[in-house]
Amino acid sequence: MSNVNDHLDKLMQELRRGTLTIGVLSQLSEPQYGYSLVTMLGDKGIHVEPGTLYPLLRRLEKQGLLDSKWDTNESRPRKYYLLSKTGKEVYCLLVGEWMGIVDSLNHVIQQKGEEENGAD
């Protein structure tokens, strides 16, 4: 049984890695700092480790999908991230692609289910 869990863990990890970017981009039409994003995503059911999110934010910034600004007015300096112009475009297209994947996958999963039901 633990074998099954191992497989599941590995596959889930891969699945999350791909989808996390969409989740992050979806929340950044308003500027957010790292930890506020962790809480926000957590509240919406997307659990993410800060150790994964912080480096991801930096990478996305480096790729030009995010802009960033340091806010030094608060008690401690915080780096706020926001979708860049490119980031917005990429996000819109990405959502379209995602919907397509969901549709196709739903379709194949349901089809499989119908076949099994038919066989009963």
Partner 1 sequence: MELIERYIYAVIQKLPQSQREEISIELRGLIQDMLEERVEGRKPTDRDVEEVLQELGNPKNLAGQYRESKNYLIGPELYDSFILVLKVVMITLSIVLAIEFVVQIIIEPMSILEHFIDLIVTVVTVIPTAFGWTAIWFALAEHFSEINPKDLKMEKEWKPSDLPPIPDTKGQIKRTDPIAGIIFYVFLIALFSFSTNYFGVWIFRDGYRGAIPFLNPEANNIFLLFIILILGFGIIKESLKLVYRKWNVQLVVFTAILNVVSFLVVMLMISEPEFWNPTFMNELVQYGVLSEGTEAYQTVHTIWNQSTRWILVFMAIGLIWEIVDGLVKVFRQKK
Candidates 51, 114, 116, 118; binder of partner 1 (CB under 8 A) is 51
Establish if 16 lies at the interface with partner 1 (CB under 8 A): no
Q: Where are the alpha helices (DSSP H) in 1-120?
A: 2-26, 34-43, 50-63, 85-119
Task: Find the shortest distance in angstroms from Cβ 66 to partner 1.
Answer: 14
In the complex, the smallest distance separating the C-beta of residue 50 from partner 1, rounded to whole angstroms, is: 6
Instruction: Please report whether residue 64 would count as binding partner 1 according to CB under 8 A.
Output: no
Q: Should residue 33 be labelled a site residue for partner 1 when binding is judged by CB under 8 A?
A: yes
Which residue type occupies 70? W
- CA-angle at 35, arms to 70 and 17, nearest 5°: 110
Mention every residue, 6+ apart, whose C-beta is less than 8 A from residue 53.
20, 24, 34, 37, 38, 41
Whichever of 58 and 88 has its CB closer to partner 1, that residue is 58
Q: Which residues bind partner 1 (CB under 8 A)?
A: 33-35, 39, 49-52, 54-55, 58-59, 76-79
